[in-house]
Amino acid sequence: MPGYLVQQGATVTCAHAGQAQPTMPNLRVKLNGQPTVLQTSPYTIAGCSNPPPNVNVGPCVTATWTSGSTRVKSMGQPVLLQNSLSVCAPTGTPLTVAVAQMRVKGI
C-alpha cells in the first residue's frame, strides 16, 4: 500500500507515548534535508510510560520494523513508509509514525 517515506526527523511514538528515534539513518538519500530511514534500522525509545515489571512487562526500549516499501529501495534495502509495521520490545506493541514529510510517496 502506498505511503509517505519516513525521514529521521519524523515524529514516531510507541503505544505508550514514548519518543522513538532511528539508530542508523540512511545518509545516502535525504528528504527535506533529513536522512531517510531503512527498514533494517532499529529504533530506540525514550519516555515510554508502560509500568515496570510486577505491574506490567516494562517500558518499550527498542523497536524493529517488520515491513517497508516493496518498490522503493536504497542501498538494496526497503525504505520505511508512514504505514510500515513494527514491533516494540519487550511489550510487542507497534510504533506509530504520527508526522512525516508529505512530498514523497512510495509503494
* pLDDT tens series, the chain, 107 aa: 799 999 999 999 999 999 999 999 999 999 999 999 999 999 999 999 999 888 889 999 999 999 999 999 999 999 999 999 999 999 999 999 999 999 999 99
Instruction: State which residues form the domain around 83.
Output: 3-99
Q: Are strands 62-65 and 43-46 parallel, antiparallel or unpaired?
A: antiparallel
> CATH number for the domain including 18?
2.60.200
Residue 106 placed within a domain: no
Residue 18 placed within a domain: yes
Q: Are strands 11-14 and 95-99 parallel, antiparallel or unpaired?
A: antiparallel
Residue 65 placed within a domain: yes
Number of domains making up the chain = 1
Element (H, E) at 64: strand 62-65
Count Cβ atoms within 10 A of the Cβ of residue 63 and give its class: 0-12 exposed, 13-18 middle, 19 or more buried: buried
Specify the pTM: 0.93
